[in-house]
Amino acid sequence: MAEDSGQERTEEPTSRRLQQAREKGQVARSKELGTSAVLLAAAVALAMMGPKLAQALASIMTNLFTIERANIYDVDAMLRVWGTVGSELMFPVLGIVTLLALVAFIGNIALGGLSFSTKAFMPKGNKLNPMNGFKRMFGTQALVELTKGIAKFSVVAISAYTLLSIYFEDIMQLSASHLPTNVFEGLNLLSWMFIILCSSTLLIVVIDVPFQIWNHNKQLKMTKQEVKDEYKDTEGKPEVKGRIRQQQREIAQRRMVAEVPNADAIVVNPEHYAVAIKYDADKAAAPYVIAKGVDTVAFKIREIAREHDVAIVSAPPLARAIYHTTKIDQQIPDGLFIAVAQVLAYVFQLKQYQKGRGRRPTPIPTEQPIPEELRY
């Protein structure tokens, strides 16, 4: 899309983009990290297993250079020699190979983590295009790899020359030593030189790892249009989401309005606001709101209240205060207790009067005791 629209990839990759890249096997990797880890592991393994390996080699050479007359005519002597060689070398060689295999696995997943994707094995037609091949050969990535190759060769060559210059006299003195002393000394010297030489490759790793992370992030960067398209795919189109929210509001309103017949009183203002209040001592310690609305919804609440003979009380300040401070199925604030109690008392007395059991109640006062912070 970036090529079609002409937009630059300036946006950081989203979590979905990163997840899709991982599913395709596209993660940040550093070959230099894996190579350096294996080389260092080999050097350390040689230092650890060197003495045992030297003993095994010395024992093998002693057996091979000591030939008894009976073995010359024994056709099975060669098989026994190979069995001795295998038994002597098995433990040190197996230890080195096991350590190298473990470090090779860890070194290759240290950057980017463990990732397995079948999509990475699928054949791609663009790989067969010769022009794409030439672009890869002479592109920026090829130039980077060439630079790294030259840098690795230079670092290793300079380190090797420096080590040979430092240990030249020690190497030459090995020829003057006797078996098996020269073997042990040679392996010890070789192991330390190998460790130092492999450590020099860490200089390339320190440069390559940040570069691979940066390059991977750069390849996954997105255009502004791609970010918008992804947001639409994941979150849905704004008009669709708006329609869904509208339907949810309508469903919630229908459920809310259906509770109006159960209200004890409807507090109104007198046309724009309507709040349905109910007091149930078994459910809550204070009166709570079961429905509320403005304009059209308020008109619907009043209409249903008249159909079911629910008392409608005009108290504009109280209606506005309850509407703005209390949610559905929530108890009214403490500051409105007295005002609501007056309304409910008036409604209960009115019901008793309508049944012929008392005198007509006094209308509630125009100004209810509502705190300033709850007035709207």
Q: pLDDT digits over 117-176, tens only?
A: 666 556 666 566 666 666 666 667 778 778 888 888 888 899 889 988 888 888 888 777
Evaluate whether residue 81 is within a structural domain. Answer: yes
Residue 75 inside a domain? The answer is yes
Q: How many domains does the chain have?
A: 2
Looking at residue 292, what is its pLDDT? 87
Residues 23, 135 share a domain: yes
207 with 350, same domain: the answer is no
Mean pLDDT per block of 10 residues along the chain (376 residues) reads 60 82 81 86 80 77 72 69 75 83 86 70 61 66 80 88 87 77 77 85 87 86 82 65 71 76 84 85 81 85 85 85 86 85 83 76 75 80
* Rg, Å, the chain Cα set: 43
If asked whether residues 281 and 227 sit together in one domain, one would say no
In a domain, 254, yes or no: no
Q: Are residues 274 and 162 in the same domain?
A: no
User: Are 24 and 77 members of one domain?
Assistant: yes
Map tokens 């020690």 to a residue. Answer: 170
Q: Do residue 208 and residue 290 come from a single domain?
A: no
137 and 216 inside one domain: yes
CATH number of the domain that residue 294 is part of: 3.40.1690.10
198, 273: one domain:
no
**Predicted TM-score (pTM) above 0.85:** no
- Assigned domain for 109 exists: yes
Could you read off the pLDDT of 91-113 as tens digits, one per residue? 778 888 888 889 888 888 888 77
What pLDDT score was predicted for residue 293? 84
Q: What is the pLDDT of residue 277?
A: 87
Average pLDDT of the chain is: 79
Same domain, 205 and 73: yes
Answer whether residue 142 is part of any domain. Answer: yes
Asked, for residue 247, whether it belongs to a domain, the answer is: no
Q: Tell whether 251 is covered by a domain.
A: no
Q: Are residues 74 and 217 in the same domain?
A: yes
Helix/strand/coil (H, E, C) string of the chain? CHHHHCCCCCECCCHHHHHHHHHCCCCCCCHHHHHHHHHHHHHHHHHHHHHHHHHHHHHHHHHHHCCCHHHHCCCCHHHHHHHHHHHHHHHHHHHHHHHHHHHHHHHHHCCCCCCCCHHHHCCCHHHHCHHHHHHHHHCHHHHHHHHHHHHHHHHHHHHHHHHHHHHHHHHHHHHHCCCCHHHHHHHHHHHHHHHHHHHCCHHHHHHHHHHHHHHHHHHHCECHHHHHHHHHHHHCCHHHHHHHHHHHHHHHHHHHHHCHHHCCEEEECCCCEEEEEECCCCCCCCCEEEEEEECHHHHHHHHHHHHCCCCEEECHHHHHHHHHHCCCCCECCHHHHHHHHHHHHHHHHHHHHHCCCCCCCCCCCCCCCCCHHHCC
Domain span at 360: 259-374
